[in-house]
Amino acid sequence: MRIPCPFCGVRDLTEFTYLGDASLAQRPDPASPDAAARFHEYVHLRDNPAGLHDELWYHGGGCRSWLTVTRNTRTHVIEGAKLTRTSKSWTATS
Amino acid sequence: MSDMAQPNRLPAGGAIEGRVDRNRPLAFTFDGKSYSGYAGDTLASALIAAGVKLIGRSFKYHRPRGIFSAGPEEPNALIELRGGARREPNTRATTIELYDGLEAASQNRWPSLAFDILAINQIASPLFVGGFYYKTFMWPASFWEKVYEPLIRRAAGLGRASESPDPDHYEKAYAFCDVLVVGSGPAGLAAALAAGRSGARVILCEDDAQLGGRLLSERQTIDDAPAHLFAAAAGGELRSLPNVCVMSRTQVFGAYDSEVYGALERVADHVTAPAAGVPRQRFWHIAAKRCVNAMGATERPIVFGGNDRPGVMLASAVRTYLNRFGVLPGRKAVVFTTNDDGWRTAADLVAAGAQVEAVVDPRASVDENLTKAAAAGGVRVLLGGYIVNVTGGARGVTSAIVSVAGKRQILTADLVAVSGGWNPQVALTTHRGGKPRWSDALSTFVPGDLPDGMTVAGAANGDLGLAESLRKGSEAGAAAAAACGFSAAPAPQPRAEDEPTAVAPLWHVAESRHKAFVDLQNDVTADDITLAHAEGFRSIEHLKRYTTLGMATDQGKTSNLNGHAMMAALTGQAMSDVGTILSRPPHQPVAIGAFAGHHRDRHFRPTRHTAGHAWALENGAVMVEAGPWLRPQYFPRSGEKDWLTTVVREVRTVRSVVGVCDVSTLGRIDIQGRDAAAFLDRVYVNTFSTLPVGKARYGVMLREDGFVMDDGTTSRFAEDHYVMSTTTANAAKIMQHLEFCHQALWPELDVSMVSVTEQWSQYAVAGPKARELLMQLYGPDVDLSNDALPYMGCREIPLRGIPTRLFRISFSGELAYELAVPARYGAAVLEALMALCGALGGCPYGTEAQSVMRIEKGHVAGNELNGQTVARDLGLGRMMSTKRDYIGRVMAGRPALMAPDRPTLVGIRPVEKGRRLTAGAHILPGGAAAVAANDQGYVTSVAYSPTCEGWIGLALVVNGPARHGERVHAFDAMRNNDQDVVICSPVFVDPEGVRLRG
Amino acid sequence: MADAALQLKARSAFDGLLVPGGPKDAGIVVTERKDLQIATVIARSSGFAEAIKTAYGIALPSGPKRIVVHEITLLGTGPRAWFALRAGERPLASDLEQSLGEHAAVADQSDGYGVLRVSGAKVRALLAKGVPIDLHPRAFAADDVAVTVCSHIGIMLWRSDADSSFDIAMFRSLCGSFWSWLSESAEEFGLRVEAE
């Protein structure tokens, strides 16, 4: 399998580490009254869709970016990948 | 070379003479007997030339077997190639290029090939029917190990692997192209030419040593010249193009996700031994934007009585032996074919001077041209006929018994050429989940849904005619190149004809009453299919497991379709409903060594060495693996009788004088930014924003589920600059975690981190004379007093012009420092330190002594940070901030993780003084039965403590801290080391911490 | 111990591994680049681009690209990360810190990496045995940079000026393993080690 890293280009699977469902980037508010229940869901519960799945991969063998990769779990076709760091972000070269 | 030596070699200059190089004779041995062949032969063609018919014994029944095919689909002619450490079992004689000095031996026979005792299995054959493993050997159970298993192992098992290490090396390599063309038959060559001429980067892989595929085996013409000349010219043109890479002896064995293909290049299989530096095989990982699959087709046999006898051969293989190798597989032949293509074998045999007794074709009528040509060659035509049995023995076929309209006749023959039609090589189209499609016209499966980026051309797609293959190949090649942005002016198509290819389905001659083989390699017979059906194993996946149909080296290339069709007839299903067996890569056998490549023995994975590595080796260190690193475990001195003596001496020296330990392997992460402090407060349970500049603090990190992930010391060098240390084992994992926290969770923080592990060499200097040693190193101008550098202080201090960092931290519990120096000076500083250390009476110490001292101090390490402990379990609960959130805080608050009766860190001592403790022992209340319900925890770490003069341990025990002084039982049935122990404080040495503050 | 006796000797990352020599017609030529000052630079704020422009008068290209400015080679290694090299003794990290101030996190890595220059007619055939990326001139241009792995070892790879010459940087501790891979893989092409 090859993953199109937005920075490095298309790279072999061996350069990446899989983490899991992209919902892991949405850490619950620890101050919320139901934080315990929300963290339980955040840590333990995952959807397991047959089809498109957003998931987190770490490009440790490359640019060290965390990526949100959209993969079809039926076919392993990678539909796309973007840097997980998007919100409030800026680029250093623009 | 005399005809005596190669009685079946066709004479040079005849109508058919083959294309081996008769000027280059090659000597080889088979079962110890010397033979000769020519350059360009395969082992199989050379054996046929030499008149050798019997090549091996079959898997279950030990029936005599010969050469069945001329390619990688060979189920019978499996041999042991080479001798000694290079002996390789189950290689296919049909794919082995002959080289001078080749050694080969038959296999699965005892005591000899001609006289094989286990051929008696044929008589006992009812024992070996489908499912025999499950039935025959079930009772009595006690017979399994002593009787049945040895019997089966002798009877079956095929060849013997060498028991010595493989002396050759293997490589992995990566290749990239626009267009990958698999196969160099007419379609493949045409595709490669079309793509190559466009300027696209093309890789052409051909399994054989020569390009051409079937063009090398047929008497066809292209542009009015023999077809093999077209192949040679095409190969020449392709090799001349700088954008084309032609890889012969390379089989593409798998299609993987994202348009990646696996291929095996047999770099040096065709020579006695690889030249220096040359691998035997190279495993290619090919990323191709487009792939033209032109793998061709495999001829399908027919199942009839005696169809396994030496001399029964695929009809196309007969043509290969004649036209390519110039050898005559038989002098008196019967051709049994269900299709027009098989008739060509009769014609070629006649042209080569052989006698063809008859062409037997079950079809009632065929193309008139075929029968006319046969008649002209003096060949009888038996339409509507079947071969029901072939007689013969170890010396080969003697006759074929043919049935025509219910009447039987015996035809004398030493060769039976068989063709049931052609099966396209669909494997590469299915590896990514594609399902082949049934074609009634061809009576076989053709490629169905194709994987992304792949097109199929030529016989692989069911286009069997030559002109059609050339045209479709060319179109596919041009289209693939165009998809990559390359185009070429259309070139004129080479002139060729489409030969007749009509076929009628016939899988099994039902009239046959003799043993008729579906799968030659696994000895699966027609009766086995019937039996599997009768016993309910009817799906083709069940059929495979029950009968072993389609298993082993050939993976059913010549057997699956017939077997499945026979089952379909029994169940009344259509073949389109039966489908095909799920096929996974590799399509052909690939040696494990090729997958491993360079990564074998000490190169299994990269090894990391510290700058002090050479010094440690020179000073006799015994090294130990710590993650990817090698670290000194201990430094034995002459006269020390075992490792424990050494470690005790090292511990005593540190505790009484001074010692030096290389701790460069700890992870070091440089963390900078305005929000660095805030970031650390979120990833550690304790607070780092309050850490003064110039100070270090011990920190604990949790996973988000509340369990401890790692610990270490983090120091602050400026308001916005920290250096974090991690455990050796977790360094990469922690870096990844911190990047996740920053990039995914809190991208708004101004914090950045980079590993500086490699920039620094770091040495622990520990013991009462540690300060004295460092003062000598730094010289009189540097103040290392308690005031200048107190416990948990850190400073940047130049040492003879080089920048160093000195940390006043202690893992041993002694007055201790860690000295970090730029790695290029790591070796020199270690040498200087050790010279001073030795002069003071100190010594180097390794990981064992370090571990003993940390257990004596009750410091937790990997055994306690085992992924099942929370901070409270380790006595670190008070570190957990109550004022703010951090990773793992919420989940660590779960009631079960807060429960007071969780196993918690304690020390233990044996009741019986001097008794050895063992880690992993379970703690039970005194007198309680050793059952899980009474389990109260376990021993995590033990050591012989020179300071306590006895064994001590750390354990996690229910309510542990409240139970100091209690006597409990340490249960260790595994190592027979049950004993009573006393619970105590985990800090065995200097509990007040006087020494480390000294 | 007297100062003079304690002149600390620096050892390069490939010290003891590379022995100069080898056939004249070798397909692979290797040189250790010992004289480098190295630093990692991570942009901390959106002011980084401006700070670079002010200090060096250039705009950094985005992506994995190489640019040379004031004798400093800057390699794009991540969305906000650069690997900086400069030949000679002059400290690089402190210079960069001064120029970029609070807009960048700079760490001296001069000791953390070994850097080899690998060249020769067979250099791409050699690198194909370990590097899982396409180094064909059509795919990997003169100013391209890759952070990748070679034979399970993390590397940074960039073209030096010649077409068939690459510079490869890897962690110092892995230089031994890298060298064993390179020397074994290059054997069939012939290998010559040259002093810098």
Q: CATH number of the domain at C139, please.
A: 3.30.1360.120
For chain A, the domains span 2-83
Three-class SS of C104-138: EEEEECCCCEEEEEEECCCHHHHHCCCCCCCCCCC
B340-351 helix and B315-323 helix, angle to the nearest 10 degrees: 30
Low-confidence ranges of chain C (pLDDT < 50): 1-2, 4
Do B264 and B322 fall into the same domain? no
Q: Percent of chain B, pLDDT > 70?
A: 95
Give the bridge partners for A55, in sequence order: A21, A69
CB pair distance less than 8 Å for C46 and A90: yes
Q: Are residues B654 and B676 in the same domain?
A: yes
CATH number at residue C80: 3.30.70.1520
Question: What pLDDT is recorded for position C6?
Answer: 59
pLDDT at B1 over 60: no
Residue B328 lies in a domain: yes
C128 shares a domain with C76: no
Q: Do residues B255 and B189 both lie within one domain? A: yes
**What's the total number of domains in chain C?**
2
B422 contact partners, CB below 8 Å, separation of at least 6: B297, B298, B299, B300, B339, B341, B442, B444, B459, B464, B501, B503
Q: With an 8 Å Cβ cutoff, is C109 touching chain B?
A: yes
Q: Are C30 and C118 members of one domain?
A: yes
Residue pLDDT, tens place only, B209-255: 999 999 999 999 999 999 999 999 999 999 999 999 999 999 999 99
The whole-angstrom separation of Cα B592 and Cα B39 is 29
| C78 at A interface, C-beta within 8 A | yes
Is B209 found in the same domain as B146? no
pLDDT attached to residue B141:
63
Nearest-CB residue to B736 (from A17, A35, A44): A17
Residues B222 and B280 in one domain: yes
pLDDT band at B478 (very low <50, low <70, confident <90, very high): very high
- The two most distant CA atoms of chain A are separated, in Å, by 44
Tell me the CA distances in angstroms from B33 to B317, B326, B703, one per residue in order.
25, 22, 68
B530 in contact with C, Cβ within 8 Å: no
Q: What is the mean pLDDT of chain B?
A: 94
What is the predicted pLDDT for the residue at B147?
A: 66
Q: Read off the pLDDT of each residue in B815-843 and give the average, rounded to a whole number.
A: 97
pLDDT of B2 reads: 44
Task: Please enumerate residues of A whose Cβ is less than 8 A from a Cβ of C.
Answer: 7-9, 11-12, 14-15, 61-65, 83, 85, 90-94
Collapsing DSSP to helix, strand or coil, C182 comes out as: helix
Sign of CA dihedral C149, C155, C159, C164: negative
Per-residue model confidence as pLDDT tens digits over B398-449 = 999 999 998 999 999 999 999 999 999 999 999 999 999 999 999 999 999 9
Does pLDDT of B355 surpass 70?
A: yes
Mean pLDDT for the stretch of residues B118-130:
66
CATH code for the domain in which residue B378 is found: 3.50.50.60
Query: Is C6 within a domain?
Result: no
Give C3→chain A minimum CA distance, Å: 43
The chains found to touch A (3+ Cβ pairs under 8 angstroms) are B, C
Q: Are A11 and C133 an interchain contact pair (Cβ–Cβ within 8 Å)?
A: yes
Q: Are residues C190 and C104 in the same domain?
A: no
Same-domain check for residues C40 and C126: no
Q: Please, are residues B416 and B393 in contact by the beta-carbon 8 Å criterion? A: no
> What is the chain B residue with the closest CA to C113?
B758
Looking at CA atoms only, how far is residue B687 from chain A in angstroms?
17
User: Is residue B790 helix, strand or coil?
Assistant: coil
**Domain assignment present for B141:** yes
**Cα–Cα distance between B49 and A58 in angstroms, integer?**
59
User: What is the Rg, in whole angstroms, of the alpha carbon atoms belonging to chain C?
Assistant: 18
Q: Indicate if B308 and B365 belong to the same structural domain.
A: yes
For residue B152, the model assigns a pLDDT of 61
CATH topology of domain A2-83: Folate-binding fold (3.30.2270)
Q: Looking at residues B150-155, what average pLDDT do you find?
A: 60
pLDDT surpasses 60 at A87: no
Domain shared by B311 and B293, yes or no: no
8 Å CB contact of A39 and B748:
no
Q: Which of B120, B155, B190 is the last residue of a domain?
A: B155
Nearest CB partner across the interface for A60, out of B452, B736, B744:
B736
Interface with B, mutate which of C8, C96, C153 (most B CBs under 10 A):
C8
User: What stretch of H or E contains A42?
Assistant: helix A35-44
Give the CA angle between residues B828, B831, B835 to the nearest 5°.
140
B:C CB pairs within 8 Å: 143
Q: Which of residues 21-40 of C touch B (CB under 8 A)?
A: 40
CA distance B15 to B226: 13
Q: Which residues of chain C are within 8 Å of residue A61 when distances are taken between CB atoms?
A: 147-149, 154
Q: Is the peptide bond before B111 cis (omega within 30 degrees of 0)?
A: yes
Burial class (CB in 10 A: 0-12, 13-18, 19+), B926: exposed
For residues B790 and B317, give the distance between their C-alpha atoms in angstroms, rounded to a whole number: 86
> In this predicted structure, what is the pLDDT of residue B163?
87
The amino acid sitting at B71 is G
Q: What is the pLDDT of residue B700?
A: 97
In this structure, of A39-43, B877-881, C124-128, C160-164, the range with the lowest mean pLDDT score is: C160-164
- Residues C165 and C175 both lie in one domain: yes
| Amino acid letter, residue A93 | T
Length of chain B: 998
Q: Do C102 and C64 fall within a single domain?
A: yes
Q: Which of C108, C124, C154 is the last residue of a domain?
A: C108
In a domain, C2, yes or no: no
The string over B944-954, giving b where at least 16 C-beta atoms fall within 10 Å of a residue's C-beta and e elsewhere, is bbbbeebbbbb
Q: Is residue C152 included in any domain, yes or no? A: yes
CATH of the domain at B37: 3.10.20.440
- The last residue of a domain, from among C48, C79, C108: C108
Find the helix packing angle between B526-534 and B560-571, rounded to 10°: 40
Q: Around Cβ B267, how many Cβ atoms within 10 Å?
A: 20
Chains A, C: CB pairs < 8 Å: 60
Q: Does B78 lie at the interface with C, CB-CB under 8 angstroms?
A: no
For A37, other C-beta atoms within 10 Å of its C-beta total: 12
Q: Tell me: do B755 and B889 sit in the same domain.
A: yes
Helix (H, G, I), strand (E, B) or coil at B36: strand
C145 interfaces chain A, CB cutoff of 8 Å? no
Q: Strand B407-412 and strand B396-404: pairing?
A: antiparallel
pLDDT at B75 over 80: yes
C 86-105 residues inside an 8 A Cβ radius of B: 102, 105
B53 within 8 A of B395, measured Cβ to Cβ: yes
Secondary structure class of B718 (helix, strand, coil): strand
Out of B260, B744, B885, name the one closest to residue A30 (CB).
B885
B882-902 tens-digit pLDDT: 999 999 999 999 999 999 899
- B622-651: pLDDT as tens digits: 999 999 999 999 999 999 999 999 999 999
Nearest CA to B779 out of A94, A30, C131, C8 is that of C8
* Same-domain status, B760 and B893: yes
Residue type, B265: E
Mean pLDDT, rounded, for B733-738: 97
Q: Which residues pair with B799 in a beta bridge?
A: B802
CA distance B187 to B479: 13
Residue with tokens 């092409």: C189
pLDDT at C188: 95
Both C102 and C47 in one domain: the answer is yes
DSSP string, B168-183: S-EEEEEEEEEEEEE-
Residues B710 and B800 both lie in one domain = yes
Contact C136, C143 (CB under 8 A): no
pLDDT of residue B124: 64
Radius of gyration (C-alpha) of chain A in whole angstroms? 15
Same domain, B412 and B555: yes
Domain residues for the domain of C83 are: 36-108
CB within 8 Å: A39 and B260? no
Of B853, B879, B899, the one marking the end of a domain is B899
β-pairing, A66-72 vs A78-83, is antiparallel
At which residue do the structure tokens 């080089």 appear? B802
User: Same domain, yes or no, for B306 and B407?
Assistant: yes
Interchain contact C61–A (C-beta under 8 A): yes
State the residue range of the domain holding B892: 605-899
Farthest-apart Cα atoms in chain B, separation: 115
Selected residues 279-298 of chain B with any CB under 8 Å from a CB in chain C:
285, 287
Note whether C162 and C73 are same-domain residues: no
Q: Is residue B14 part of a domain?
A: no
Determine, yes or no, domain membership for B551. Answer: yes
Clarify whether residues C101 and C134 are in a common domain: no
Nearest CB to A92: which of C80, C147, C148? C80
B123 — pLDDT class (breaks 50, 70, 90): low
How many separate domains does chain B show?
Answer: 4
Cis omega (within 30 of 0) for bond into B140:
yes
Burial (0-12, 13-18, 19+ Cβ within 10 Å), C23: exposed
DSSP conformation class of B916: P
Contact B752 C112 (CB under 8 A): no
| pLDDT, average across residues B611-629 | 96
Q: Which of B155, B188, B203 is the last residue of a domain?
A: B155
| Residue B258, both tokens | 């994202």
- Per-residue exposure over B121-155, b if at least 16 CB sit within 10 Å of its own CB, e if not: beeebeebbbbbeeeebeeeeeeeeeebeeebeeb
Q: Give the model's confidence band at B150: pLDDT under 50 very low, under 70 low, under 90 confident, else very high.
A: low
pLDDT of residue B706: 97
**End of a domain among C108, C127, C146?**
C108
CA distance B437 to B227: 31
The answer to whether the CB atoms of C78 and A93 lie below 8 A apart is: no
